[in-house]
């Protein structure tokens, strides 16, 4: 039972990894700078595919890819995405994203995935302001179709997350008002009964 749960990959992870594979394919075609080692590109893609198939093997695959080229921005970005969506490890994911952006601060997929993580309401280091800065920069830099798709996907995620938070906050406020009204009615009823019993005496 536990094993089956580990192997089931979250939908959000699958969607992000699909963007990752698209970006990998596009960079492979265009010969993007910083990805000279063919074996590193292959290992990165294998790691992403492993993550899609089984979350249990993915960390090892990513670590192996990074042992070949520890400064590969794409691999760091993909690993950060996996740590965030597959392992819910926000701190280690942030380390990967930060390292990737120190190497290349214009890497659109890293900007998108980091923004998505920072906008998550479950993230203890939640930061809407920084998320907005990152996604705005990504939108400005996006030139390829895969980069534009990444920006679009993450902007939608962020908007949905914020809409959900607004709705949840409104529901909490409504519930709070209902409890306050019920308590006020209870006190009024109690006071009214006290006055009536006082008159009878």
Q: What is the DSSP string of 136-148?
A: HHHHHH--SHHHH
Whether 54 is covered by a domain: the verdict is: yes
Whether 37 is covered by a domain: the verdict is: yes
Number of domain units in the chain: 1
Whether 146 is covered by a domain: the verdict is: yes
Whether 186 is covered by a domain: the verdict is: no
Whether 194 is covered by a domain: the verdict is: no
**Contact in structure between 82 and 13 (CB atoms under 8 Å):** yes
User: Quick one: tokens of 126?
Assistant: 């939640």
User: Residue 44: which CATH number?
Assistant: 1.25.40.10
Domain that holds residue 70: 2-161
Whether 58 is covered by a domain: the verdict is: yes
Put simply, whether the predicted model's pTM sits higher than 0.75 gets the answer: no
Whether 170 is covered by a domain: the verdict is: no
| Residue pLDDT, tens place only, 27-81 | 544 444 444 344 444 444 555 554 455 567 888 889 999 999 999 999 999 999 9
């Amino acid at each position: 039972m536990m094993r089956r749960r580990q192997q089931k990959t979250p939908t959000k992870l699958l969607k992000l990894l699909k963007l990752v594979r698209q970006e990998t394919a596009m960079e492979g075609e265009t010969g993007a700078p910083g990805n000279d080692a063919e074996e590193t590109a292959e290992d990165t893609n294998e790691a992403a595919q492993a993550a899609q198939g089984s979350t249990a093997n993915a960390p090892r695959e990513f670590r192996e890819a990074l042992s070949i080229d520890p400064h590969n921005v794409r691999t760091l970005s993909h690993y950060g995405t996996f740590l965030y969506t597959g392992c819910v490890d926000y701190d280690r994911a942030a380390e990967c994203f930060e390292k990737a952006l120190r190497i290349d601060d214009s890497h659109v997929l890293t900007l998108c995935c980091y923004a998505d993580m920072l906008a998550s309401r479950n993230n203890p280091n939640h930061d809407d302001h920084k998320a907005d800065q990152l996604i705005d920069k990504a939108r400005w830099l996006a030139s390829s179709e895969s980069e534009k798709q990444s920006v679009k996907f993450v902007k939608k995620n962020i908007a949905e997350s914020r809409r959900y938070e607004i709705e949840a906050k409104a529901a909490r406020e409504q519930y709070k008002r209902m409890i306050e009204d019920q308590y006020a009615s209870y006190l009024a009823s109690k006071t009214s009964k006290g006055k009536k019993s006082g008159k009878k005496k």
